[in-house]
Each structure stands twice: as C-alpha cells, then as structure tokens.
Structure 1
Amino acid sequence: MGEIDSINEEEIIMLQAQAQISKYMFAFVDSMAIKCAVELRIADTIHSYNGQKITLSQIATNIHSSSSPHMDYLFRLMRLLVRRKIFTASTSQDGDTLYGLTPISRWLLHDSELSVAPMFLLQTNPIIMSPWHWFSNCIKEGGIAFKKAHGCEIFEMASKDDELNNNFNNGMNSMTKCIMREVIKVYKDGFNSITSLVDVGGGIGAAMFEIVKAYPHIKGINFDLPHVVLRAQKFEGVDHVEGDMFEVIPHADAVFLKWVLHDWGDEDCVKILKNCRKAIPIKTGKVIIVDAVLKLEGEGLFDDVGFIMDLVMIVHTSGGKERTEDKWNKLLKEAGFPRYNIIEISAWPSIIVAYPQ
C-alpha cells in the first residue's frame, strides 16, 4: 500500500488542495507555453504536412532562426503541450516520437479562417499583461489597472502605438470571425428585415464584412475612431466612417454593438445607447448587442469565460464589466429601450436585441 493510504481523510483533502493551488500558481506557464508554440508556428508546421504526424526534427527545421533551435528545450515544450492535449504524440515503427494536431491546436493555425492565434498573442502581450500586477491595488483604492501600469488608457495607447494597435485589431478581428459565424447562423431572420446597419465600434470592419457577405442587401457602415478606421480594409457594400460614438452615430435601420458596452461603465453605456436610439427609426429600429449575459449558477460550456472576461474589464478598461440579465434590463430601460430579447448562441456572448418601443 502507498504512503497516501496511511493518512486520514482530512490530510488527503489538504493534499488535493495543495496540488490544485499549485496548478493555479503556475497556470501562467501554460499560457506562455502556448504563446511560444504560436510564435514558433508549430501548429502551422504540423498542418503543412497534410495531416501526417511529424518528428521533432521536422518541427525544428521549420522554425525560422538565425541559429539551430535548441532541441532539448523544444522537446520539453512539446512534452508539456502534449500533456495539455494541445498536440498528440505517438511512436513510429522506427521508435521516433511523432507529433500531431488536436482540435485545440487547430484553433492556433495562423492561416485558418477561424483562428484565435492573433487574440492569444494579444492577451499574452507584455503591455496587456503588466496591468494585472496592479489588480490588487485597484481593489484597494479603485482606478484603472492599465493606466496605473502605463500612464494612459488602452485605447489612447493603441492610438499612438502602431504595433499595439495592429496587435489589438488583429486579435479582435480573429475573435470576431469566430463569433460572427454563430451570430449570423442564429440571427439570420433578424438581418433579413433590415436594409442598413451601422456597426458602432466596428474596428477594422470584420463583423460588418461577414454580415454583408451573408446578406448583400444590407448597406453596411463600419463606424469607429479615426486611428482604427485608418487600418480598415475595403469591402464591397461597407462604408468606413470615422467618428465618436459618444457624440453622434450614423443613421441606419439598426445598430450593431459587438463587445463595446462591456468596455464601459453604466453611465457611459447609457450615453452610447441613447445615441444609438437617435440613430434608428423609433417604430422599426433596433439595437443588436453581442455581449455576455452572466449566469451566476451557469454551468454551460462558455459560462466561465464571461466571469473571466469580467475581471479583464476591471484591469483593462475604465469601468467596463460583464452584466447579468437584471443589469442589462436596468441599463436598457434607462437608455430608452423598454423591450428586449436575449438569444443564446454557441459562444460566450449572447445576442441582446433591444427595441425603442
């Protein structure tokens, strides 16, 4: 019998707790290991062999470097990522270890239409990560962690730092493609009924492009700050318009808000929503919001992500938060939207359709 059999139940519970807290203590190592694999394009290398599993040497050969890759380090990286089920490992007839993709690593392919690789690089960017070290300070005395770390807010820094701006836009663009696939599939009847749509805070236009591509009868307006629109790609059927959503929003049959309101506190959200109300017809207009609806006891596939993102909002925004349905109800009524409908999709946000009448 092993040593663990000789200890009592309370000691077993404490040992299990110690093991669990140790995993949390070093959880950042998993993120950094995956980031390393993304930067080295390991998933892309394996994918380039047309479904075949490949050796460590084949992976190393495809790593662009001024010198030979450190094979022991690479082996140890892959060993952990196999354990985390990011990659598979099997033994060939020759005794070589062969590595393959899993459903998880397929989300890390750079050139895939649906990829979270750019968002992974954004969230693990040192500029984005350093504000987390100010989190406890924010709880003690308030304030914005990002500003405490960098002396300005995230959107201000992005407007001045081209590399961060590109990193931010590319990350949001990659997640937008993933989410919009679900939004368009579930809300198809809702898009059929409108002829013009303005995407407020639409970034470089990824969401509007997906909507107009699926519904070419819609005249799309991608609306964002000047430094963001400057990077937007030209899409047929989409006009890029620069401006400030706190001042005025272009007129359309409907307004689309994806991951915008969670960046702001209640007072700012009311201002944005009131401007949305002015931009749409009172009788037939609507605002289509794509944001999380927190379920306090939720055990769905993506429910945890909403609570994680809620803390991201504390660290990276000035008052941003994820909201329960009760909070959404209060916010929408205060902004002049007495009626709304929540539509769940297979992703961490939901669709909230708000009506001015």
Structure 2
Amino acid sequence: MEPKETPALLQGQAEIWQLIYGSVDSMALKCVVELRIADIIHSHGGPITLRQIASEVDSPSPSIAYLVRIMRLLVRKNIFTEHHHLVESGETLYGLTQTSRWLLRDAELSIVPLVLLRNHPMQLAPLHCLSQSVKKGGTAFKKVHGCEVWDFTSKNPEYNNIFNDAMACMTKSVMAALLAEYNDGFGGTVGSLVDVGGGIGGMMAKIVKAHPCIKGVNFDLPHVVAITPVRQGVSQVGGDMFDAIPNTDAILVGRVLHNWSDEDCMKILKNCRKAIPKNGGNVIIVHVVLEKESKDLFDETRMAFDLLMMAYTTGGKERTELKLLEEAGFGRYKIFKIATIPSIVEAYPE
C-alpha cells in the first residue's frame, strides 16, 4: 500500500497540475478576446445574459453550450463576474471585473494586442524547443523559423503588424506608470531626445506631449519607421543602433537591451555614449531589473520575460545587475522603481 501523501506533497502535486494546464487559461483568454466578449458586455453598460453575448458574436450560429464552459472558467479566474438575478428565467448575467477591463479593445491601456501576440502560433512554437536549446545551445526561435526574430518580422508583414501593435500596447502600459511617477525626470531635458528602438513612436509621442519643449526623435530600423504614423513633435529616423545613433542631448532606451547579448548591449551603450554631449548628457533606460528577494505584483512576469528572451533572441535576457553601464563609459547610474514591470535607470557618462 502506498504511503499517504503529506499535505506538502499534495500541495506540490496541485501546483504542478496548475503549471501543466496554465496554457488552457491562456487559450481561453485568447478565445474571449477574439470573440470580443469584454467589448460586448461593456457596450451594454452592465452585466448581460449569455444569450445576449452570443447574439453579438460574429457568427451566424454560435454555440452557447461551448461559450458557457469558457465563461465558467474565466469567472473562476476573476476575468468576469457571474450574477444570478433573473430567477424567473433561470438565466445568469455576466459582467466585467477590473481585470477584464484590460481586455477592452478601445481602452487607452488595452492589452488585447499582447494577448494576441503571446498566443500566436509563431510565438508559441519556439517554446516547444527550450529543452533543445539547453541540450545543444542556440535560439529556439531560430531553430523553428530558420532566422532571427528581427529578420522574421521584416519578412512577414502581417506578423510584423501584430508584433508592433503588441509592443505599442506594452509601451502605453509602461508609459502610464512612467509619466505618473517619473514625469519630472524628463523635465530637465532641454533640446533633443532620441528614443533608440522606439518602434512606431508611441513612447516618444507621449513624452513630447507632456514636455513640448523636447525635440523628439523616434529611431528604429527602416522597415519599422516606414509604417510609423505621423506624430506631432516627433521626427522619424531610420537606421541601425549597432552602427550609429543620431547626435542628441539625451537618449531614451526603451525595452531594447533585454533583446540582446552583453556584447551587443555594449555596442548599443557605447554608441549612446558617443551620441550625447560629454558634459550634461544622459541616457534614460527602461529596463527590467531582476531581484531575488523582491515579491511585488510583477515578479513572476519578469521571470517569464527572461525565459522568453532566451527563447526568442540570441543572448537576450533580463538582468540582475547593470555592470555593462560602467564598462560602456557611464560612471554613475540611478535606479527608480515604478508601478509596472520595468524600472527606470538613469545613466551618466564619466
């Protein structure tokens, strides 16, 4: 007879089960995003029945039997609420929570594009090759798709649009915290500010709007800049940060360094150092700083990001320390924690 499981062992089993089936939660979330269920409920101004939801799903014959099971899971996950008010009809009402409000497509801080990117087949496939990377080295993304992620996006316009939308949505989320808690940090910038790897320019547009005296420059690869919308107060410059960065008074490096190896980061940082004045210039870096002892709301996500960098990039990672700054010629730096996933790092030349 097998020995009785201890409470600790049983707890361990339950945690493993949760990890095994965590992908189901992600796919259920993707499902309701694709069906626009949060938007449907929001358009009614309050909780509605399953039949009302189904009637507005983009399908001539949606399955209520399937929908109720998906909603049941997401009610348990606190994505939606469940109300039993229609006693006479026996129907249940479903409403939004503070969590599902992040799934509204037209909301300023919607994270719908991230849900769609993270669960895209092209994004999921490399994660099946993590063990191969451990055994043989090499980047999982390249093993699956035959090229680096940046080459892949430049050759696949549809995927590139999904990727850029997701990065723009993450930028909005980070910028909300950054402008709320670090806004004064840009107040001392007079003249030009270059956003290195700025994507489609969302971050720089927000900064210039808050500080009109700043001459904003969005700097990224030519194929990214080519699809960037016109933004007031922001000029677009295409180029390669590994070759050179436009001369400027100050530099913003968003979620860029985590995509690259230490060697590549050193090239970027040295080019940043060359592009700013010897006296008075600085670099503002938006960067995840991993801390072993920290237990804030975003710690688990930061650790997940590190594995994603391992899977999708050659040498990319989230870092526990910033010694690279000193080696690149930045003798001083300060770290500011804000209420989001990355922190703000101010770096000053020696």
Partner of 1:227: 223
Residue 313 of structure 1: aligned partner: 309
2:39 equivalent to 1:37: no
The equivalent residue for 1:73 is: 66
TM-score normalized by the length of structure 1: 0.95
Distance 1:307 1:12 in 2: 27
Inter-partner Cα distance in structure 2 for 1:19 and 1:342:
38
- Tell me which residue corresponds to 2:20: 25
Q: How do residues 1-357 of structure 1 correspond to structure 2 at under 5 angstroms? A: 10-50=5-45, 52-65=46-59, 67-93=60-86, 94=88, 95-194=90-189, 195-325=191-321, 328=322, 330-357=323-350
8 A contact 1:107–1:115 mirrored in 2:
yes
Matched to 1:278, the amino acid is K
Q: Distance in 1 between matches of 2:138 and 2:3?
A: 46
Structure 2 spans left out of the alignment, 5+ residues: none
Question: 2:179, 2:134 → 1: CA distance?
Answer: 38
The C-alpha deviation readout for 1:202-253, integer Å capped at 9, x for no partner, is 0000100111111111110000001111111101100011000000101111
1:317 is displaced (CA, Å) by 0.6
Give the whole-Å Cα distance in 1 for the aligned partners of 2:241 and 2:53: 47
SS in 2 for 1:187: helix
**Aligned partners of 1:224, 1:39: CA distance in 2, in Å?**
30
* Aligned length in residues: 346
CA distance in 2 between counterparts of 1:274 and 1:297 reads 31
SS in 2 for 1:233: coil
Q: Deviations over 1:291-315 (max 9, x none)?
A: 1111011111112221111101000
1:17/1:253 Cα in 2 relative to 1: closer, same or farther (>3 Å)? same
Structure 2: distance between partners of 1:25 and 1:188:
41
Query: 8 Å contact 1:115–1:175 — kept in the other structure?
Result: no
| 1:158-213 deviation line (CA, Å, top 9, x unaligned) | 00111110000000111100101111222222211112100000000010011111
- Structure 2 distance, partners of 1:215, 1:180, is 14
243-252 or 16-25: bigger deviation: 16-25
**In 1, Cα distance between the equivalents of 2:106 and 2:333?**
38
Deviation of 1:15 (Å): 2.5
**SS of corresponding position for 1:246:** coil
Question: 4+ residue runs of structure 1 moved beyond 6 angstroms?
Answer: none
**AA in 1 matched with 2:140:** A
Shift of 1:153: 1.0
Q: Distance in 2 between matches of 1:301 and 1:168?
A: 25
Q: What SS class does the counterpart of residue 293 from structure 1 fall into?
A: coil
